[in-house]
């Protein structure tokens, strides 16, 4: 189900780049499928670690008081926390547009 959702969702287009077929054409199993997933996860993990390191370096070098550092990190936390809790709304939008609960995860319906 996740493969189908990722291959159709505009934000998660990596499913199409990895050679997954649409509903019309069957998916051909490739030898490196698992390897591709591992590479994608490792790249995302590396990007996240690099982002945290960059934020820490910039905050420590550019903001010289504890209050200013706390304010910058707090604003970033509020922005990313809001994004994290607002992300399931894109699934709700898809459910409303398609008028089908096929893509709706169980935790959203509880």
What pLDDT digit, counting tens, does each position of 45-87 carry? 999 999 999 999 999 999 999 999 999 999 999 999 999 988 8
Average pLDDT, the chain: 80
Q: Where are the alpha helices (DSSP H) in the chain?
A: 2-8, 14-17, 33-62, 66-86, 88-98, 106-109
Q: How far apart are CA 76 and CA 89, in angstroms?
A: 21
Q: How far apart are CA 14 and CA 46, in angstroms?
A: 17
Report yes or no on whether pTM surpasses 0.85.
no
- Contacts by 3-8, CB closer than 8 A, 24 or more apart: 3/27, 5/103
């Amino acid at each position: 189900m996740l493969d189908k959702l990722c291959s159709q969702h505009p934000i998660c287009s990596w499913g199409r780049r990895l050679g997954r077929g649409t509903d019309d054409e069957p998916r051909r199993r490739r030898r490196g499928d698992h390897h591709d997933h591992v590479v994608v996860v490792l790249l995302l993990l590396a990007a996240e670690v690099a982002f945290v390191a960059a934020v820490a370096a910039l905050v420590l070098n550019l903001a010289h008081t504890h209050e200013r550092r706390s304010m910058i990190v707090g604003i970033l936390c509020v922005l990313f926390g809001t994004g994290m809790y607002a992300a399931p709304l894109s699934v709700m939008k898809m459910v409303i547009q398609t008028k089908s609960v096929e893509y709706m995860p169980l935790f959203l319906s509880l």
